[in-house]
Amino acid sequence: MSHIYNLAIIGAGPAGIATAVESYLQGIRDIVLLEKDVNHNSTIRKYYKDNKRVDKDWKGQKVELDGRIYFVDGTKETTLDFFDEILDYHSVELQTHVEVQTIEKKDGYFEVFMAGKSIQAKKVVVTIGRMGKPNKPSYKIPSTIKKKIAYTLDGCSEGEKVLVVGGGDSAVEYAVDLSEKNEVAICYRRETFRRANPTNQTNIANAIMHKEVRPILGINIDGLEDDDGKVKVLFNGAEDETFDRVIYAIGGTTPSSFLAGSGIKELDGKPVHDDNYETNVAGLFVAGDITQESGGSIALGLNHGYAIACFIQGDCLVAK
């Protein structure tokens, strides 16, 4: 039998890093953190625009931090530096470029399978978030304009006429940011941006007032068409309009097949777990955005990590 880690954590986002570091601080050793991307925090790297303001109380949710990781408001860059530092400072083995495919419970331990290899661990925490598969519209996207449809700001160039779809914080931040160098409209099915936090509500109100962002509110989209290589948006209740690019910022999805493949039950779009974030499979935990239907945050993920670390600390994992 090869080496058995005390703890394996799948996904090195805020919840995964917090679970690793808080567990280390509780005295647990021999922890491995498995990340599919080339570096930790791929959601922050891919979906946050450069210099984005990072709010601790995201979406207006006030979260008191329970654990020992002192996270404060900052920017995308300071937040990534912060996670770099806490990983450097605590002895956690981070393996990048390893996508976990499934987790299998064996006799007294777990086997964690990746392409071409597997590792063993006594306990496993799944913190893979929901942004691996961003939410997509229900209507079909014509293949000829797929390159003009995006879920992040990547590939967006200056001077494009852009439609941002969504009404939460991410959509509002994308629209306001793009409006500095682009003609921007924002389409949201509701009449107001009440889901966004107060700062973002003020920012979008100002951008609309100064005609930097054009609101298309209380309107749904019926479909998209190719208009000579551009995207014609078929609005339900407003005139159709053509854009250079359409960006959907409508959240992410539950990784159901991953959960099912690992034996984790799902109810109402969320993995089933108890107050300690332990799933129906004893010793297998979930934390972070994956536990939320929508509306997770960095601070919430940090608290989940702390709770799990406290729970498993007494369980024969303490350093010798």
Ligand X SMILES: Cc1cc2nc3c(=O)[nH]c(=O)nc-3n(C[C@H](O)[C@H](O)[C@H](O)COP(=O)(O)OP(=O)(O)OC[C@H]3O[C@@H](n4cnc5c(N)ncnc54)[C@H](O)[C@@H]3O)c2cc1C
Residues in contact with ligand X by CB under 6 A are 10-16, 34-37, 41-44, 47-48, 54-55, 58, 99-100, 127-129, 131-132, 170, 288-290, 296-299, 301
CB of 320 to ligand X, least distance (A): 29
CB of 253 to ligand X, least distance (A): 12
CB of 58 to ligand X, least distance (A): 3
Closer to ligand X at the Cβ: 57 or 240? 57
Closer to ligand X at the Cβ: 6 or 43? 43
Q: Phi/psi of residue 122, each to 5°?
A: -75, -40
CB of 106 to ligand X, least distance (A): 19
Cβ–Cβ under 8 Å, residues 131 and 41: no
Half-sphere exposure at residue 182, Cβ-oriented, CA atoms within 13 angstroms? 22
Cβ–Cβ under 8 Å, residues 42 and 11: no
CB of 131 to ligand X, least distance (A): 5
> What would the 3-class secondary structure string for 60-119 be?
HCCCCCCCCCCCCCEEHHHHHHHHHHHHHHCCCEEECCCCEEEEEECCCCEEEEECCEEE
Closer to ligand X at the Cβ: 243 or 248? 248
Cβ–Cβ under 8 Å, residues 13 and 42: yes
Q: Is 310 exposed, middle or buried (0-12, 13-18, 19+ CB in 10 A)?
A: middle
What is the Cα–Cα distance from 224 to 186, expressed in whole angstroms? 16
220-227 and 230-236 strand pairing: antiparallel
Alpha-carbon radius of gyration of the chain: 21
Strand partners, 187: 165, 216
- The amino acid that residue 252 corresponds to is G
Closer to ligand X at the Cβ: 16 or 215? 16
CB of 38 to ligand X, least distance (A): 10
Query: End-to-end distance of the chain based on CA atoms, in angstroms?
Result: 21
Closer to ligand X at the Cβ: 49 or 161? 49
CB of 42 to ligand X, least distance (A): 4
- The amino acid that residue 218 corresponds to is G
Closer to ligand X at the Cβ: 36 or 148? 36
Closer to ligand X at the Cβ: 151 or 243? 151
Closer to ligand X at the Cβ: 155 or 240? 155
CB of 34 to ligand X, least distance (A): 5
270-271 and 266-267 strand pairing: antiparallel
Closer to ligand X at the Cβ: 53 or 230? 53
Among residues 152, 219, 206, the alpha carbon closest in space to that of 179 is found at 206
CB of 74 to ligand X, least distance (A): 9
